[in-house]
Amino acid sequence: MIATSARRVAPAIVALALGVSLTACGDQNGGTSASGLTGTLNGGGSSAQATAQDVWKSGFQTDNSGATINYNSELGSGGGRTGFNDGSLDFAGSDSYIKDDASKGKEGLELTAATARCGGEAPVEVPAYVSPIAVIYNVKGVDNLQLTAGTLAKIFNDKITKWNDAEIVAENPGAKLPDAAISPVHRSDESGTTENFTDYLAQAAGKAWPHAKDKVWPAGLKGESAAKTDGVVGAVTSGENTIGYADHSAIGDLTAASIQVGKAYVAPSAEGAAKTLAVSKPVAGRSDVDMAMDIDRTTTEAGAYPIILASYLIACQHYDDAATADLVKGYLSYAISVDGQNAAADKAAAGSAPLSADLQAKAAAIVAKIAVKK
């Protein structure tokens, strides 16, 4: 993973804004997980979660030295959901919530498959990692790029192809925009980051983005494709006049564009991501152990940054053996605890936005019910 960018809002500010205490409570809602657990737990999925997973593994294994937590971020969100559904993973990380999409045939029935994998019970799905998706670019001499949703959509939809296009110029008075072709970079793999990015474009850009949100980049569009978060960041970094999208924690020294929200242009930040999640609503019709969220991409809330991912941890309510159930419950409890959330929020770590007090308590209560099958 590329080093975390220094452009971060202090996590303490975010936590205070959300009403999250920085002091661990010591119970299932606010404190750390139980200590002394042993065994091996296999998880995988979201590459955006990779740095946070490293932080959580370190914190959890400090109190559970006999436990080994494996998390394969090379799978990406789609691979993580597949691995969970086929039983090869005990838990998964995903940058989009599980759902059924009958238009994609049997492979699109992911929620149905997850329910079957969990013995006919709805899977546990709780948000654990909330982060802005940065619109990253590498254009010599341009340090403060500003873009509306419509202009951003036209760039990725092959309608604006030059950096000195009149629309970009109008949004960036005084900027030295080159007379050069734009080189867009998108994910080549099935990706929750792509689904969140295309969801923003579909909701906020109107007719400028005629495609539905999807985990897979729309076929037929030009641009370079790259696998996983690091692949996109690497392609934008090594190229010239490039633009792409990636989890903000992974952009390294690249510059991120500011996106118009209301009448202001807002740069990606943990605080901005937290504000967007705070005004978003739960997905209707989900089970009582499923905290899927519909992100409000068109909010005009001051300071909100709407291109975010709310990345989930996915597990079963019950497992066949007690050791696995205890490990899944213990590890997920730590990840969503105040301690785990603040550890990931540290700017030297993942720089994510901690869950609000209400969301954190609800997630903790759900995870606390994970148990062995009777």
| pLDDT band at residue 139 using 50, 70 and 90 as cut-offs | very high
- DSSP H helices, the chain, are 11-18, 50-63, 76-85, 110-117, 149-156, 166-171, 192-204, 228-238, 270-278, 322-336, 338-345, 357-367
Query: Residue 23: is its pLDDT beyond 80?
Result: no
Q: pTM of the prediction?
A: 0.79
Superfamily name and number for 132-273: Periplasmic binding protein-like II (3.40.190.10)
Query: Residue 141: is its pLDDT beyond 60?
Result: yes
Percent of the chain with pLDDT over 90: 81
Q: 106 φ, ψ to 5°?
A: -60, -35
H/E element, 24: none
Look at residue 249 in the predicted model and tell me its pLDDT. Answer: 86
Question: What 8-state DSSP symbol labels residue 219?
Answer: T
Query: Residue 102: is its pLDDT beyond 90?
Result: no
Of the candidates 282, 309, 285, the one whose C-alpha atom is nearest the C-alpha of residue 297 is: 309
Query: Residue 371: is its pLDDT beyond 90?
Result: yes
Query: Residue 219: is its pLDDT beyond 90?
Result: yes
> What mean pLDDT comes out for the span 240-269?
96
Q: Which two tokens stand for residue 77?
A: 């969100």
Annotated binding site for phosphate: 46-48, 77, 95, 191-193
Q: Which whole-number Å values give the CA distances from 251 to 34, 107, 341, in the listed order?
A: 34, 32, 21
Euclidean distance between the first and the last CA atom of the chain, given in angstroms as a whole number: 41
Q: Which two tokens stand for residue 222?
A: 């030009």
| pLDDT band at residue 34 using 50, 70 and 90 as cut-offs | low
Percent of the chain with pLDDT over 70: 91
Query: Residue 17: is its pLDDT beyond 70?
Result: no
Radius of gyration of the chain (CA): 20
Annotated binding site: 46-48, 77, 95, 191-193
Where is average pLDDT lowest: 103-112, 119-128, 164-173? 103-112
Query: Which residue(s) pair with 312 in the sheet?
Result: 94, 127
Residue range(s) in the chain whose domain bears CATH number 3.40.190.10: 11-130+286-292+312-372, 132-273
In the CATH scheme, what architecture does the domain 11-130+286-292+312-372 have?
3-Layer(aba) Sandwich (3.40)
Look at residue 9 in the predicted model and tell me its pLDDT. Answer: 34
| pLDDT band at residue 14 using 50, 70 and 90 as cut-offs | very low
> What mean pLDDT comes out for the span 57-83?
95
> What mean pLDDT comes out for the span 308-319?
96
> What mean pLDDT comes out for the span 296-316?
96
Question: What 8-state DSSP symbol labels residue 248?
Answer: G
> What mean pLDDT comes out for the span 193-215?
96
Distance separating alpha carbons of residues 197 and 215, to the nearest angstrom: 9
Sign of CA dihedral 336, 75, 58, 193: negative
Q: Average pLDDT, whole number, for the chain?
A: 90
Helix %, strand %, coil % for the chain, to 5?
35, 20, 40
| pLDDT band at residue 30 using 50, 70 and 90 as cut-offs | very low
Instruction: Report the SS3 class of residue 184.
Output: strand
Q: Which two tokens stand for residue 108?
A: 């699109």
Distance separating alpha carbons of residues 211 and 17, to the nearest angstrom: 35
Look at residue 349 in the predicted model and tell me its pLDDT. Answer: 82
Instruction: Report the SS3 class of residue 289.
Output: coil
> What mean pLDDT comes out for the span 138-146?
97
> What mean pLDDT comes out for the span 302-325?
96
